[in-house]
């Protein structure tokens, strides 16, 4: 056995990042022999902490204090595991992509860290699959044609790597993904959740979602959308149901970019954003005012700009019209309808998000978006928005109402697509502006503190627990917001009077 087969090696993504000149804080090491012994030796050499992970793998954590103001600390972790196979070459041949199938002796890495400068590290690569050439060519290529059958999650990982490192997918590898796409449903959904959220997180998620769909992965994860493909929608919809759902994720990113700019930058950004290029100055001004409101909301802790484009919000955007395929109808005049699709979509959203093992908070947000995404746009269709309607909106939604209102704007843009926006957009935006102003700046007036508790109301009116109690409390709150009720006694009299009607 040759000398290099007896030593530990740096492998995989950590070496890939090192070769790309990117910072790497998580290092993967394989070794011939007992991994925990190598880990203890490495901990002693680097002055790190040894952590036992499981029977085959261990971790070493090294803390580095960085000088400067403020002083910072970095943790570098080394995960040590045994070789897969008898040699380092055997191990590399069993990996996923050629750019991850490169190794180098660990002692070169130690020298690199100790010197904090480039050494002859790159002269000692073990690269049987020409991964370095593919890395230099920015090409993502599978190690062999069974890679995805051994672990179907690698198909999602390919999409993430292409996005993360600006790679081109090898045509044969792309064909393999299409061939093996159906296998994705065979693996644990917790793993799919993590990769999917990583794909959704960065900007331009719509491009990656289209890739997933073009290669059969999208409807493998979301078979509920299969009927949505090619399903026509009435004007002013530009896209079919499936394309609209995917495009909405991109318009959400566009809306978020617009509003995340500060008020000065927002004016410039509006003019540079193609969808707003033909809008008048009053529209620009309203957009800037909304941006300012959102800054105030963030300071109040009821809104977060990153939260607007977080993976869970993009999932909610993707699923918002999932009720349309099951509510599709076409009347005798050929008019297409999706009656009650928001309500029909709520249980479907729950099914999808549970299948993805999403958190309770993520499931709740997606359901709220599906149930209420049309509400802001509808509020202004019959004249001025009343304070009662605003109050009911935020009673139902709370702070999530801010996200739903902003999403409704993104939904509007994805509805018209590249067509002119028109007056409906201006009306919609004014409603959103009014909603946000009321909640962010006038919250105490539209949602005043409760005057009486449910228990006291039941005691004083001799009521038993039931729906009527909640209805009375809601009526009292509405009357309080409208200035008709000001005290606990007036609240009791108001409820008593309502019961006698």
Q: What is the mean pLDDT of the chain?
A: 88
- Is residue 176 within 8 A of residue 148, CB to CB? The reply is yes
pTM to 2 decimal places: 0.85
**pLDDT tens digits, 322-357:** 999 999 999 998 999 999 999 999 999 999 999 999
Query: Does residue 373 sit in the same domain as residue 406?
Result: yes
Sequence-distant (6+) residues with CB within 8 A of 240 are 228, 229, 230, 231, 232, 233
Residue 156's Cβ-count burial label (10 Å; 0-12, 13-18, 19+) is: buried
Question: How remote is the C-alpha of 464 from its chain's centroid?
Answer: 44
Q: How many angstroms separate the most distant Cα atoms in the chain?
A: 94
- Is the same domain home to 158 and 55? no
Instruction: Give the end of a domain, one of 84, 113, 136.
Output: 136
- Which residue has tokens 């209805």? 471
Residues 7 and 64 reside in one and the same domain: yes
107/173 same-domain check: no
Are 399 and 280 within one domain?
A: yes
**Pair of tokens at residue 103:** 């190794």
**How far out from the chain centre does Cα 268 lie?**
27
> Tell me: the pLDDT tens digits for 352-376?
999 999 999 999 999 999 999 999 9
115, 136, 157: which is the final residue of a domain?
136
Structural domain harbouring 390: 225-446
Residues 365-389 have a mean pLDDT of 92
Same domain, 412 and 462: no
Note whether 43 and 143 are same-domain residues.
Answer: no
pLDDT, tens only, 111-126: 766 665 554 445 588 9
314 and 367 share one domain: yes
Beta bridge partners of 11: 28, 103
> How many structural domains is the chain composed of?
4
Instruction: Mark whether 408 and 434 lie in a shared domain.
Output: yes
At residue 113, the pLDDT reads: 63
- The per-residue pLDDT for range 132-160, each reduced to its tens digit, is 999 999 999 999 999 999 999 999 999 99
Ramachandran region, residue 84 (left: φ > 0; alpha: ψ -120 to 50; beta: rest)? beta
User: What pLDDT, in 10s, does the model give residues 418-439?
Assistant: 998 888 999 999 999 999 999 9
Identify whether residues 377 and 252 lie together within a single domain: yes
What digits encode the pLDDT tens for the residues 20-68? 888 888 888 898 877 888 788 878 887 888 887 776 788 889 887 766 5
Which residue among 221, 255, 285 closes a domain? 221
Regarding predicted confidence, which is higher, 90 or 26? Answer: 90
Domain identity same for 93 and 190: no
Question: How far is C-alpha 410 from the chain's CA centre?
Answer: 15
Whether 418 and 437 share a structural domain: yes
At 90, which CATH number?
Answer: 3.30.460.10
């Amino acid at each position: 056995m040759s000398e290099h087969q007896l030593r530990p090696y740096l492998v995989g993504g950590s070496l890939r990042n090192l070769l790309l000149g990117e910072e790497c804080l998580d290092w993967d090491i394989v070794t011939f022999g007992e991994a925990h012994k190598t880990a203890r030796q490495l901990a002693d050499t680097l002055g790190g902490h040894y952590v036992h992970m499981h029977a085959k793998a261990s971790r070493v954590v090294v803390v580095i204090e960085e000088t400067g103001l403020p002083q910072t600390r970095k943790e570098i972790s080394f995960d040590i595991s045994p070789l897969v196979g008898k040699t380092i070459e055997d191990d590399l041949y069993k990996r996923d992509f050629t750019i991850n199938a490169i190794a180098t002796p660990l002692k070169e890495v130690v020298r690199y860290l100790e010197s904090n400068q480039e050494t002859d590290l790159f002269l000692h690569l073990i690269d049987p699959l020409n991964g370095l050439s593919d890395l230099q060519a920015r090409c993502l290529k599978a190690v062999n044609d069974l890679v995805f059958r051994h672990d179907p999650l690698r198909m999602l990982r390919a999409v993430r790597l292409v996005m993360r490192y600006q790679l081109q997918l090898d045509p044969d590898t792309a064909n393999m993904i299409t061939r093996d796409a159906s296998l994705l449903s065979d693996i644990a959904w917790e793993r799919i959740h993590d990769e999917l959220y990583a794909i959704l997180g960065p900007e331009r998620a719509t491009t990656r979602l289209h890739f997933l769909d073009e290669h059969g992965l999208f409807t493998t994860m979301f078979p509920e959308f299969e009927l949505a493909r090619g399903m026509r929608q009435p004007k002013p919809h530009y896209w079919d149901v499936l394309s609209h759902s995917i495009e909405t994720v991109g318009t959400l990113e566009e809306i978020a970019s617009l509003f995340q700019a500060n008020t000065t930058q927002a004016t410039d950004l509006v003019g540079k954003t193609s969808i707003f290029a033909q809008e008048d100055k009053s529209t620009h001004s309203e957009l800037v005012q909304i941006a300012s409101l959102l800054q105030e909301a963030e300071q109040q802790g009821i809104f977060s700009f990153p939260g607007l484009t977080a993976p869970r919000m993009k999932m909610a955007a993707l699923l918002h019209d999932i009720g349309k395929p099951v509510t599709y109808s076409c009347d005798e005049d050929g008019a297409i309808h999706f009656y009650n699709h928001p309500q029909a979509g709520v249980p479907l959203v729950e099914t999808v998000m549970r299948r993805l093992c999403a958190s309770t908070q993520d499931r709740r947000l997606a359901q709220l978006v599906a149930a209420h995404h049309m509400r802001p746009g509808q509020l202004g269709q019959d004249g001025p928005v009343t304070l009662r309607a605003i109050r009911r909106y935020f009673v139902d939604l709370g702070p999530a109402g801010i996200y739903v209102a902003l999403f409704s704007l993104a939904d509007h843009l994805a509805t018209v697509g590249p067509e002119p926006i028109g007056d409906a957009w201006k009306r919609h935006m004014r409603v959103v502006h009014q909603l946000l102003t009321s909640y962010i700046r006038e919250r105490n007036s539209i949602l005043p503190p409760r005057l009486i508790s449910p228990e006291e109301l039941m005691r004083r009116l001799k009521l038993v627990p039931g729906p009527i109690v909640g209805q009375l409390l809601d009526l009292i709150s509405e009357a309080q917001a409208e200035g008709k009720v000001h005290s606990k006694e007036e609240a009791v009299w108001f409820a008593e009077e309502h019961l006698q009607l």
